[in-house]
Chains A and B, each alone.
Chain A
């Protein structure tokens, strides 16, 4: 009965969200339930990870309907690792939200929405059925739509229009692709598909379907040329929302791409994975060049999400076990680091009242510790050893050298350098140079009224995530081993198929 536990990451957020809805007038209760809920989810997901590492893939047939017919919930190493990271980010965001979200947003059900979002994300990671994946995507999107516009400023609405329209378009494409795939292969269970696809006769139609899926997930993952909604919307909501979006949402798209183009669609690697490779290179380049032009703290970070997505897709497109392990390692590292950078940008905004680099300055002089907390994720993002980003880039690039894609590797290294340039720019403008208003410590009026408890609550998740970055950096060996095992499970899909369909 131990396999029932893998439903918990999906059902627990729902239970906590409903509990909050019953106390919907008392916001203080929401905060504690939310914090408690994310903590419980974290513990549960770690227990599942330990189980999966020791016993292999765990699968659950919901409602006791047998595998290809019913809905399967499958926890393989990749899914479980993603669920654990989601729980970590959920917990950090819960802490950060208590310190930063204004009472108006809290009253309009901010915390239940956060739990619904986590439920959608966990569902997308754990499901073993493509149509069910569509459903979880929609759960995730609806919650993210509401979180994005909560508060209702003009910028939020303008960003949300683009975000909503493009994501609905991608959902329509996803749905059409699901329909055609069912017509071609006669099943929507991922394991069953992996087994049947080699015997499908209409290979051309299959390639068309795979490209449709690539476009649908590409919009969600923000790969070139489908990323325009991201820099238009991610800098508009409150920082806590930006941070959890930046960390998790695009990575669900990347996860779906990795799952589909390793386990299911490997019938025409010459075409599909080359397409991914071209897209990955252009994603890296446009992202980092877009960032170079910006002078807004959060916009620079938003563009860097795009360029970093390029590295993950690059790992997938190179399609060797090492490269996919690199992509998985990259996701783990990136989620932690990117969320943390957004958190830091929020703290700077609370102090100085702006995200505009031209108006900021002098933070290091009065708050050297915050400078250090920025430098850890920033240098990690750029790939400076011995932080986590170095190992992530190192593995992807080593995998690229092994398959002799020298041009692509050259671009990847160049993008790393430009990332460092961007991070130095932020460092110079925000932390190093003097405040344009003079040498004294200029603080925003509202900052002086924030209680010190709240300040600790805001700093705590930043320190927590920075520590994880350092740990991944210095003890990269075990993390890389599990990334490698996860890649192994993806490429040798027979273990996955046997676990889900119950064959020996």
Chain B
């Protein structure tokens, strides 16, 4: 399972990197989404995969019984997904508005702010 996830993460990073290097706005946003998912899966994998119970101490017991799942990576991913959702929704609206204002989705044609006057 670890191996499989590692390969998936690799593919996501590869695809994401390839996509953000493209000139089209739509592909760039797709690339950013891939990179976000890759990071989430990376946290998930690196936080140790276990088929464990939730980390609740049962009534009457003093310590956790093995095996239990580490709740922190899950909390991190949950937060990261929520934030990613918000940011990506904003980015999509922004990219759409940009397309309407500038009239092209080719990034190479959007360099008026970089030019020397």
Contact = CB atoms under 8 A, between A and B. Distances in A.
B21 to A, nearest CB: 11
Contacts of A232: 113-114
A171 B91 CA distance: 14
B101 to A, nearest CB: 5
Contacts of A134: 80, 83
B39 A176 contact: yes
Given A169-B20, A182-B46, A142 B87 contact: yes
A176 B114 CA distance: 31
Given A158-B113, A235-B113, 12 more contacts: A131-B79, A135-B79, A154-B102, A168-B32, A169-B20, A171-B87, A173-B39, A175-B36, A175-B43, A176-B38, A178-B76, A232-B114
Interface in B69-117: 72-73, 76, 79-80, 83, 86-87, 90-91, 94-95, 97-98, 101-102, 107, 110-114, 116-117
B113 A233 contact: yes
A158 B32 contact: no
A411 interface: no
B98 A160 contact: yes
A165 B28 contact: yes
Contacts of B95: 161
Residue of A134, A142, A154 with most chain B CB atoms under a 10 A cut-off = A154
A168 B94 contact: no
Nearest to B103: A154
A168 B35 CA distance: 9
B86 to A, nearest CB: 7
Nearest to A184: B46
A178 B43 contact: yes
A133 B99 CA distance: 32
Contacts of B47: 179, 182-183
Contacts of A296: 117
19 contacts: A131-B76, A138-B87, A145-B90, A157-B101, A158-B112, A161-B95, A165-B20, A168-B32, A168-B36, A173-B39, A175-B39, A175-B40, A179-B43, A179-B47, A180-B42, A182-B43, A188-B72, A236-B113, A293-B116
Nearest to A356: B117
Interface of B: 16, 20, 25, 28, 32, 35-36, 38-40, 42-43, 46-48, 72-73, 76, 79-80, 83, 86-87, 90-91, 94-95, 97-98, 101-102, 107, 110-114, 116-117
B99 to A, nearest CB: 9
A142 B116 CA distance: 29
Interface residues of A, number: 43
A493 to B, nearest CB: 23
A169 B116 CA distance: 27
Contact of A155 (B36, B83, B97, B113): B113
A131 B80 CA distance: 9
Given A152-B101, A155-B113, A161 B73 contact: no
B98 A161 contact: yes
Say whether chain A's binding surface is mostly helix, strand, loop, or mixed.
helix
A293 B117 CA distance: 10
Interface in A143-195: 145-146, 149, 152-155, 157-161, 164-165, 168-169, 171-173, 175-176, 178-180, 182-183, 188
Contacts of A154: 101-102, 112
B117 A175 contact: no
- Nearest first, the 6 closest Cβ-Cβ pairs linking A and B are A179-B43, A183-B46, A175-B39, A172-B35, A157-B98, A176-B39
A207 interface: no
A336 interface: no
Contacts of B16: 172
A45 to B, nearest CB: 26
Contacts of A188: 72
A238 interface: no
B102 A179 contact: no
Contacts of A164: 91, 94
Contacts of B101: 152-154, 157
A176 B34 CA distance: 13
Contact of A182 (B20, B39, B72, B114): B72
Contacts of B42: 176, 179-180
Contacts of A171: 87
A160 B80 CA distance: 22
Contacts of B39: 172-173, 175-176, 179
Residue of A141, A161, A236 with most chain B CB atoms under a 10 A cut-off = A161
Residue of B16, B73, B114 with most chain A CB atoms under a 10 A cut-off = B114
Contacts of B38: 172, 176
A161 B25 contact: yes
A153 B112 CA distance: 12
